[in-house]
Amino acid sequence: MNTQEQMAHIGQAAKQASRQLARLSARKKNSILEAMAEALEAHRTPIQTANAKDLQAGREAGLSSAMLDRLELNDARIDSMIKGLHDVAVLNDPVGDEIAAWNRPNGLHISKVRAPIGVIGIIFESRPNVTCDAAALCFKTSNAVILRGGKEAIHSNLAIANALQEGGEAKGLPPNAIQLVPITDREAVRELCRMTDYLDLIIPRGGEGLINAVAEMALVPVIKHYKGICHTYIDATAKLDMAWAIAENAKCQRPGVCNAMETLLVHQAIADDFLPTMGERLQAAGVTIRGDETTRTHIPSAQAATEEDWFTEYLDLTLAIRVVNDTEAAIDHINHYGSGHSDAIVTQDTESEKQFLAEVDSSSVYVNASTRFTDGAEFGMGAEIGISTDKLHARGPMGLEELTTYKFIIEGTGQIRPSLKHKKS
Amino acid sequence: MNTQEQMAHIGQAAKQASRQLARLSARKKNSILEAMAEALEAHRTPIQTANAKDLQAGREAGLSSAMLDRLELNDARIDSMIKGLHDVAVLNDPVGDEIAAWNRPNGLHISKVRAPIGVIGIIFESRPNVTCDAAALCFKTSNAVILRGGKEAIHSNLAIANALQEGGEAKGLPPNAIQLVPITDREAVRELCRMTDYLDLIIPRGGEGLINAVAEMALVPVIKHYKGICHTYIDATAKLDMAWAIAENAKCQRPGVCNAMETLLVHQAIADDFLPTMGERLQAAGVTIRGDETTRTHIPSAQAATEEDWFTEYLDLTLAIRVVNDTEAAIDHINHYGSGHSDAIVTQDTESEKQFLAEVDSSSVYVNASTRFTDGAEFGMGAEIGISTDKLHARGPMGLEELTTYKFIIEGTGQIRPSLKHKKS
């Protein structure tokens, strides 16, 4: 079989599995998740043997120590996958939940009910724990999943997927509900992106290059988890202590993640009071500052920011700072340069707050808090398959509900539509 | 300007308008919709003059009488557009509606609130009234809209769009909130489909060819309104009178629309009682029947159905009939050959009903009613921009809520995340 045939085979099998998954009760699914957790425990040795093979190959291929670290499945990381399965088992199963229901004058009862999406493709990069986390969330929502991980983790990923499928099958998991694509060339990704007959959704997880490539190739709908150019705007009425603490936290608490702040906007009226101390605190924390002209009068050691800086996701201890005329200018900056991820206003003025919340076009808009809270667990959603920067279907942290669609159920007692009598559109 | 530059110009202007639209209150928007209705009334003569030009060109180009009919804007159709604007004005504005809200242990208050999508592209074929209907729904939800109608209706569409924009602007409609693409070549559609910097969503409305072409080209997310291969399944326990009436209605009441039945499935145990009379009633209504072998023993005049028939949307007085072993076989047939639009079971058995509702993977699943009810107005949704056969974001009839996205609003009192203390991965 060539790659195309092999991928079609995987797609057909997943579609078949998805029909059977639609028949499983929540209780049954939870017992299967528990069985998967036991199987991971039982397969700890083969998984770590497979992982050692990947690590060896990675070292030979000259992978960076950061990449080798992401690849490694030590005991703590296997424990964490096992815990993840238990955690997903106890979450509410959204499939079958009624979103709304109403009666029509003709006696029809209509309800809108959550249903599985069908077959979901997950395309991801080096961390092998994604195999387990993504499979658990897709299965919990009765979706079949096709996983396509990075070449460098192929042995680890196959070992995990096999353990989950094998362990689950003993308790009634349909065959091929969890499949890992064993083909490591790019052609397999291309096929996956175009299999509209079998796939209902693709979620790419990884760097900008991967996400752009998938979006460009895809005929199957894609939900993207793209970059986070997050802003904090310090309004004229902000409490200074709160503003300093929030800005420092948003930048420094974990600079390498998508919900960390990349640009700080400051109302001109508060710049005098706010910026000098802010500059000192940031520099003490090791932050390199790139500022506009006004900023540099208050923080003389700052470098000059260029147009490019406003568009940049540093993912590092670097911060762009700009002084703006008013809240409207801050909103315009965010909507123009931002990525629609997470943006905050620090203010004591309810009018500014209202305007900021209504007009900033981002998935998560904050008042008086750090943008670092954009996260499924921090939002209390229980589990997260990623953070969508798209606007359709799912926006912001994606939990179990976002892995479902809905259907309309219409219950009647023989209702038919009256005849048209020569009615013309 | 070439087509690419012209389209980018339109896209930029729409994006700009969408920012201003986000600032309008529901009350303001409704007064603008009323002003648009008045403007249509005032522009009745220029609209009909433009329409006469299109009709003349259409006759010269040899358009079919059905196409010319769809193109014509007689007084009744203009009345209907005006009524549509008034109807949309009185509907609830979903923007700002709270979908859910909760508090976190750290004191953050999180709410999930409906927000405009941004800029929506509508690509449609000959009916010029779509210009008005789609513009009204997009505007009501604070979305900027870029309309791209068929070449044959270009003068009519421009006249309607101009009347709406001009009439609305007098009451505060932002410039370029409603734009009609004046370029009639295919290149403009291609550009529209790929303008990810400016467009958030494309909704194609028209035949299979148009929808496939848009889906193939698009980088912007698309919600498709595809074909309806709708089924009615007569279960062993169905009441015969109800089954005959529902099947006849689903096929004959208006055969040319997407929610009309194309295939009738009959449980083997009821075939003897059900099929002969059904055949007589359908033939009396002028229906051509294509049946499987068992069907033809009961309806001898039926033609032999081929594999191709099960995949066909006749949109006409033709019906495929198949006898199946049980409910599971009916479900398998529907999931394999259907288009996920609307499918019905006629039954008195709650087990069959439950299984059918859970396992048929369609947007609208019926018990004891005609599939002809799949429609925004019939569902009580007030207005409809189409019927989605996709599973993401919107499925089934799409009303105003489906033209919105949501954002998370997080309100705090200075919350920050605790420091990591060497936490890894």
Q: Tell me how far apart the alpha carbons of residues A373 and A389 are, in angstroms, rounded to a whole number.
A: 15
Chain A, nearest residue to B213 by Cα: A219
**Arithmetic mean of pLDDT, B216-230:** 91
User: What is the 3-class SS of B388-403, one letter each residue?
Assistant: ECCCCCCCEEECCHHH
A140 or B382, which is more confident? A140
pLDDT at A354 over 70: yes
pLDDT digits (tens, 9 = 90+) for A276-292: 999 999 999 999 999 99
Give residue-wise pLDDT tens across range A94-135: 999 999 999 999 999 999 999 999 999 999 987 899 999 999
Contact status of A417 with chain B (Cβ, < 8 Å): yes
CB A10, CB A197: distance < 8 Å: no
Tell whether the model's pLDDT for residue B422 goes beyond 80.
Answer: no
Residues of A (264-323) whose Cβ lies below 8 Å from B: none
Q: Where are the alpha helices (DSSP H) in B254-349?
A: 268-284, 293-298, 307-310, 327-337
| A108 min Cα distance to partner chain B (Å) | 8
- To the nearest whole Å, the CA of B139 is away from the closest chain A CA by 16
How far B317 CA sits from the closest chain A CA (Å)? 15
Residue owning tokens 């912007």? B220
* Residue B423: predicted pLDDT: 47
A350 against A216, higher pLDDT: A350
Residue A422 pLDDT class (50, 70, 90 cuts): low
| Joined tokens for residue A119 | 């077959």
Contact A416 B359 (CB under 8 A): no
Distance CA A49, CA A62 (A): 20
Structural domains of chain B in order of their starting residue, each with its CATH number: 3-226+390-409 (3.40.605.10), 230-373 (3.40.309.10)
Confidence of residue A20 (pLDDT cuts 50, 70, 90): very high
Question: A117, A406 in Cβ contact below 8 A?
Answer: no
B75 at interface of A, judged by CB pairs closer than 8 A: no
Give SS3 for B68.
Answer: helix
Would you list the DSSP string of A17-48?
HHHHHTT--HHHHHHHHHHHHHHHHHTHHHHH
Q: Which residues 217-246 in chain A show a CB within 8 A of chain B?
A: 219, 221, 223, 239, 242, 245-246
| Dist. CA B175–CA A65, nearest whole Å | 54
- Residue B421 gets which letter from DSSP? T
Mutation target among A21, A92, A240, A361 for the B interface, most CBs of B within 10 A = A361
- Would the CB atoms of B365 and A254 count as touching at under 8 Å? no
Helices (H) and strands (E) in chain A, counts: 15, 16
Q: Is A200 on the interface with B (CB under 8 A)?
A: yes
pLDDT for the residue A225: 85
Given an 8 Å threshold on Cβ–Cβ distance, is B416 in contact with A370? yes
Judged by CB atoms closer than 8 Å, whether chains meet at A393 and B393 is answered as: yes
DSSP state of A370: -
**Element at A205 (helix H, strand E):** strand A201-205
The interface residues of chain B toward chain A in range 394-413, judged by CB-CB distance below 8 A, are 395-397, 405-413
Q: Which residues of B touch A425 (CB under 8 A)?
A: 70
- Is residue A163 classed as helix, strand or coil in its secondary structure? helix
Judged against a pLDDT cut of 90, whether residue B225 lies above it is answered with no
Q: Does residue B424 carry a pLDDT above 70? A: no
Partner B contacted by A333 (CB < 8 A) = no
Nearest CA among B232, B251, B12, B37 for reference residue B144: B12
Q: What is the average pLDDT value for chain B, to the nearest integer?
A: 95
Task: Report whether B223 contacts B203 (CB < 8 A).
Answer: yes
- Give the residue-averaged pLDDT of A246-275: 97
What letter represents residue A228's amino acid?
A: G
Instruction: Enter the pTM of the model.
Output: 0.93
The helix (run of H) or strand (run of E) holding residue B387 is strand B386-388
Say if CB B214 and CB B335 are below 8 A apart. Answer: no
Predicted pLDDT of residue B425: 40
Coarse DSSP helix, strand, coil percentages of chain B, rounded to the nearest 5 percent: 45, 20, 35
Strands B144-148 and B178-180: parallel
Q: Which of B396, B403, B399 is nearest to B226 (CA)?
A: B396
Q: Please give the interface size between A and B, counted as residue pairs whose CB atoms are below 8 Å apart.
A: 208
- Measured from the Cβ of residue B60, the count of other Cβ atoms closer than 10 Å reads 8
B188 close to B3: Cβ distance less than 8 angstroms: yes
Q: Which residue of B has its CA nearest to A21?
A: B359
Mutate to test the interface with A, among B18, B143, B373, B403 (most CBs of A within 10 A): B373
Instruction: Give φ, ψ of B267 to 5 degrees.
Output: -65, 135
User: Mind telling me how many Å the CA of B407 is from chain A's nearest CA?
Assistant: 5
Q: Tell me the CA distances in angstroms from B77 to B36, B81, B90, one per residue in order.
A: 16, 6, 20
Q: Is B22 on the interface with A (CB under 8 A)?
A: yes
* 8 Å CB contact of A408 and B200: no
- Number of residues in chain A: 425
pLDDT per position as a tens digit, A195-247: 999 999 999 998 888 999 998 899 999 999 888 999 999 999 999 999 999 99
A115 touches chain B (CB under 8 A): yes
Does B108 touch chain A if contact means CB atoms closer than 8 Å? yes
pLDDT in tens, B253-299: 999 999 999 999 999 999 999 999 999 999 999 999 999 999 999 99
CA of B279 vs chain A CAs: smallest distance (Å) = 19
Which residues lie closer than 8 Å to B358 by C-beta, 6 or more apart?
A: A22, A23, A96
Q: A390–B104: do the CB atoms touch at under 8 Å?
A: no
* Phi, psi (degrees; rounded to nearest 5) at B166: -65, -50
Sheet-wide strand order for B404-415: A303-304, A288-291, A318-324, A261-267, A230-234, A342-346, A364-369, B404-415, B109-116, B98-103
Which one of B372, B374, B391 has the shortest CB-CB distance to A200?
B391
Q: Is B62 on the interface with A (CB under 8 A)?
A: no
